[in-house]
Amino acid sequence: MNYIKSMREKVGHDPIFMCACGCLIFNERNQILLQKRSDDGLWGNPGGSMELGETIYDTVIREVKEETNLDLDKDSLKIFNIYSGEEQHHIYPNGDEVYMVNIIFEVRAYRGEVICDSESTELKYFDLADLPTDITKPFACVLRDLRKEQQG
């Protein structure tokens, strides 16, 4: 069942709360994997909304698999931060409005070959010093915190 789709049938484009989980995926060269979204053409981390009955770990593992084809193990996931409030207010190109509670994980161990799904036009590893500037609003605060962490 797609919880968000079912909610949208009831409330239209009105603002709703959405629990989301995303992941900062680092390769062996400390580059981060970003996803260029097919709906707005902006870059962000792989992730998505929680379905009813899922744990946060179930959600991030499922979403990363769907969007990147990578397999994650729960034991390899570390919570990076949790975001909410105005920084996580987002209006999708179709007019759907959400206020996310966004749980961001980081991982350095995974399996598989990166393959795009229909939600992405591109998946690419970036050096932390050379990240794209055309990013989604919910990813901006994650990127801010990631840069702070990298500066020590």
Residue 103, number of CB atoms within 10 A of its CB: 22
Q: What is the 3-state secondary structure (H, E, C) of 90-111?
A: EECCCCCEEEEEEEEEEECCCE
> For the segment 95-136, what is each residue's pLDDT rounded down to a tens digit?
999 999 999 999 999 999 999 999 899 999 999 999 999 999
Give the chain's domain count. 1
Range of the domain at 120: 3-151
Catalytic residue among 67, 87, 97, 122: 122
66 in active site: no
Residues 6+ away with beta carbon under 8 Å from 80: 24, 104, 105, 106, 142, 145, 146
What CATH number is given to the structural domain containing 23? 3.90.79.10
Place of tokens 């995974």: 110
* DSSP-derived secondary structure letter, 71: B
Q: What pLDDT score does 1 carry?
A: 62
Distance CA 87, CA 104 (A): 14
Q: What pLDDT score does 151 carry?
A: 81
Q: What pLDDT score does 4 carry?
A: 86
Q: Enter the pTM of the model.
A: 0.93
Q: Is the pLDDT of residue 10 over 70?
A: yes
Distance CA 22, CA 105 (A): 6
